[in-house]
């Protein structure tokens, strides 16, 4: 069996599978045609090409997988798939970490890629509006020029700290040192609205409360498990208002819920969906 890991290799997987008379699975981790919809060059040049590739080959796949329900529904609509893609989310394996209750300052953590569409600039701009007793830790990697821009933006603010990146295997353990995982996704494209960032599940696995953008896929899980707060927009004033609403009592309650949610939202259970796709594809 062949697996096409995102759209660039979809034609190759389809051709190899046809030549060898074996099944193939299309595994798409984005709503591909809108992955960079904020860029004019992408919308004009790349998006039509991506749509053509998917429209030409995705329907030939024995099975299709993706990472969120929103993307799964959009792919049915866009590509006319006869069968809805199976959702296999990017979730870490469960870790039995103890709850760290807030007793003093509340530490909010952003970890991951440092890029303009991740809302890190807006987060930094919101910090001067935070009430005392809250601090922001930024741990990640990005282009040197952009990281320097972020550090210049935070210069002189003692409530913002930049930590060096850590190895993937250390990510959850280091996150456990904080109290709240924060994510301020920026953009209005369907790709952004349907996103389920890895960091959301990593925060829960680390036993953190979450503070996130009002995106449909994220809101559904936050409401279902009661693990955090949602800010209505990424305007610094709105971000600050939501952060300021988090006191020790609320954060500790969210942390308790996060530990429960992490037992359900774990790779131990999510992998069963992947194994089902493989079993069905192989007949």
Distance between CA 181 and CA 261 in Å, rounded?
15
- 210 domain residue, yes or no: yes
Contacts of 108 (CB under 8 A, 6+ apart): 134, 135, 136, 137, 178, 179, 180, 181, 182, 211, 243
On whether both 251 and 199 belong to a single domain, the answer is: yes
pLDDT tens, N- to C-terminus, the chain (283 residues): 999 999 999 999 999 999 999 999 999 998 888 888 778 888 899 989 999 999 999 999 999 999 999 999 999 998 999 899 999 999 999 888 888 899 889 999 999 999 888 899 999 999 999 999 999 999 999 999 999 999 999 999 999 999 999 998 999 999 999 999 999 987 667 777 888 899 999 999 999 999 999 988 899 999 999 999 999 999 999 999 999 999 999 999 999 999 999 999 999 999 999 999 999 999 8
CA dist list (Å): 117 to 108, 139, 186, 240: 19, 16, 5, 19
On whether both 137 and 207 belong to a single domain, the answer is: yes
pLDDT of 269 reads: 93
On whether both 114 and 10 belong to a single domain, the answer is: no
- 100 domain residue, yes or no: no
On whether both 116 and 77 belong to a single domain, the answer is: no
Name the residue with tokens 């190895």.
Answer: 167
pLDDT of 188 reads: 67
Could you tell me the strand order of the sheet in which 134-141 lies?
A: 160-163, 134-141, 106-113, 180-183, 209-213, 228-231
On whether both 204 and 247 belong to a single domain, the answer is: yes
Radius of gyration of the chain (CA): 20
Range of the domain at 74: 2-90+267-282
On whether both 195 and 113 belong to a single domain, the answer is: yes
How many domains would you assign to the chain? Answer: 2
- 141 domain residue, yes or no: yes
- 99 domain residue, yes or no: no
On whether both 154 and 222 belong to a single domain, the answer is: yes
Q: Answer yes or no: are the C-beta atoms of 118 and 141 closer than 8 Å.
A: no
Distance between CA 183 and CA 108 in Å, rounded?
10
CB burial readout 209-234, b (16+ within 10 A) else e: bbbbbbbebbeebbeebebbbebeeb
| pTM for the whole structure | 0.91
Nearest Cα to Cα of residue 27 among 56, 64, 2: 64
The CATH code of the domain that includes 55 is 3.40.50.2000
CA dist list (Å): 211 to 53, 167, 225, 238: 37, 24, 13, 12
- 95 domain residue, yes or no: no
pLDDT of 283 reads: 86
H or E element, residue 110? strand 106-113
On whether both 65 and 119 belong to a single domain, the answer is: no
pLDDT of 40 reads: 86
Q: Would you tell me how many other CB atoms lie within 10 Å of the CB of residue 163?
A: 13
- 137 domain residue, yes or no: yes
On whether both 82 and 215 belong to a single domain, the answer is: no
- 98 domain residue, yes or no: no
On whether both 188 and 271 belong to a single domain, the answer is: no
Q: What is the DSSP letter of 42?
A: I
On whether both 202 and 250 belong to a single domain, the answer is: yes
- 43 domain residue, yes or no: yes
On whether both 58 and 13 belong to a single domain, the answer is: yes
Nearest Cα to Cα of residue 13 among 50, 52, 63, 49: 63
Contacts of 44 (CB under 8 A, 6+ apart): none
């Amino acid at each position: 069996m062949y697996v096409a890991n995102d759209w660039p290799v979809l034609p190759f997987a389809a051709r190899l599978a046809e030549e060898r008379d074996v099944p193939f699975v299309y595994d798409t981790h984005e709503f591909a045609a809108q992955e960079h919809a904020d860029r004019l060059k992408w919308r004009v040049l790349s998006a039509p090409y991506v749509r053509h590739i998917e429209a030409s080959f995705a329907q030939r796949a024995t099975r299709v997988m993706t990472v969120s329900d929103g993307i799964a529904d959009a792919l049915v609509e866009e590509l006319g798939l006869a069968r809805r893609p199976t959702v296999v989310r990017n979730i870490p394996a469960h870790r039995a970490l103890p709850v760290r209750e807030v007793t003093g300052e509340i530490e909010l953590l952003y970890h991951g890629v440092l890029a303009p569409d991740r809302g890190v600039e807006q987060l930094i701009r919101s910090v001067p509006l935070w009430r005392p007793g809250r601090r922001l830790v930024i741990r990640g990697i990005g282009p040197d020029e952009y990281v320097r821009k972020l550090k210049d933006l935070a210069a002189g603010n003692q409530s913002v700290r930049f930590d060096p990146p850590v190895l993937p295997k250390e990510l959850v353990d280091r996150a456990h040192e904080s109290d709240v995982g924060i994510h301020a996704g920026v953009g209005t494209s369907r790709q952004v609205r349907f996103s389920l960032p890895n960091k959301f599940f990593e925060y829960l696995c680390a036993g953190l409360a979450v503070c996130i953008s009002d995106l449909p896929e994220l809101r559904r899980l936050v409401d279902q498990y009661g693990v955090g707060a949602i800010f209505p927009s990424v305007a610094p004033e709105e971000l600050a208002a939501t952060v300021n609403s988090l006191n020790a009592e609320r954060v500790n309650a969210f942390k308790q819920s996060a530990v429960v949610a992490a037992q359900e939202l774990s790779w131990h259970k999510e992998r069963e969906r992947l194994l089902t796709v493989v079993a069905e594809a192989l007949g």
